[in-house]
Amino acid sequence: ISSEVLLHDAFEAKLYSIAHSLLQLLIVEAFILRDMENARRYLDIYRDNFSGDRIIFTKPWNVFFEGLVAFHYKSKTSDKFWEDQGRKAVSKLEEWCHLSKWNIENKLLLLKAESYRTEKETEKAAECYEASIRSAREHRFIHEEAIACELAGYFFEEQGDNVKSRDMFQQAHNTYTKWGAVSKANSIPLNQGVAEGGDVDNDEDTNKC
């Protein structure tokens, strides 16, 4: 049975906790696989059914991916809707970061990096990508470290910095592999071979950006 069928059946049976969990997994899966149309579609379903202000322990996770999708579409379109959605996600994570820096910091830093990228503030974007990677690594969010490395790779590629881009993609490949997502790791564009080094300096201040 496909996840789509399970999601439909959960809503039909009014098993909303199951539908909520399935949507979370589908959103993350679609984003990680760069299936942005489905990530957007699942987020639309999420907003239509679970967009209340009630805080549950997974809410920051949902807002994080909503922000990532928003900034992706902001970079592709001129639709103000996506800019507003991205800003709302950053604002919410800023609020929650004061309550749990351990769980929120790396997510907030990555959303800031993506925001700066869309605004062409490249120096701030670079600082925030690297700060997000350090924070995710220090706080042991291995899958979010991998996502940050991959997005940083695309950013540095856009800037024409092939050496830095290659380093970031290699880190993403290594981290996805460590997480167990081997198929995803093998999809990372390592066109220039294995990068040398590429580790982020852990002594830098994660709050710099």
Place of tokens 């910091």: 105
Q: CB–CB of 175/199 below 8 Å?
A: no
Provide the CA 9 distance to its chain's centre, in angstroms. 28
The predicted-structure confidence for 158-200, as pLDDT tens digits, reads as follows: 999 999 999 999 999 999 999 999 999 999 988 644 333 344 4
The predicted-structure confidence for 39-83, as pLDDT tens digits, reads as follows: 999 999 998 998 765 556 678 888 999 999 999 999 999 789 999
Q: Does residue 208 carry a pLDDT above 70?
A: no
Which residue type, as a one-letter code, is found at position 195? A
The predicted-structure confidence for 101-121, as pLDDT tens digits, reads as follows: 999 999 999 999 999 999 999
Q: What is the DSSP string of 138-190?
A: HTT-HHHHHHHHHHHHHHHHHTT-HHHHHHHHHHHHHHHHHHT-HHHHHHS--
CA 161 vs CA 111, 188, 201: distances in Å: 21, 17, 18
Summarize the chain as % helix, strand, coil (round to 5): 75, 0, 25
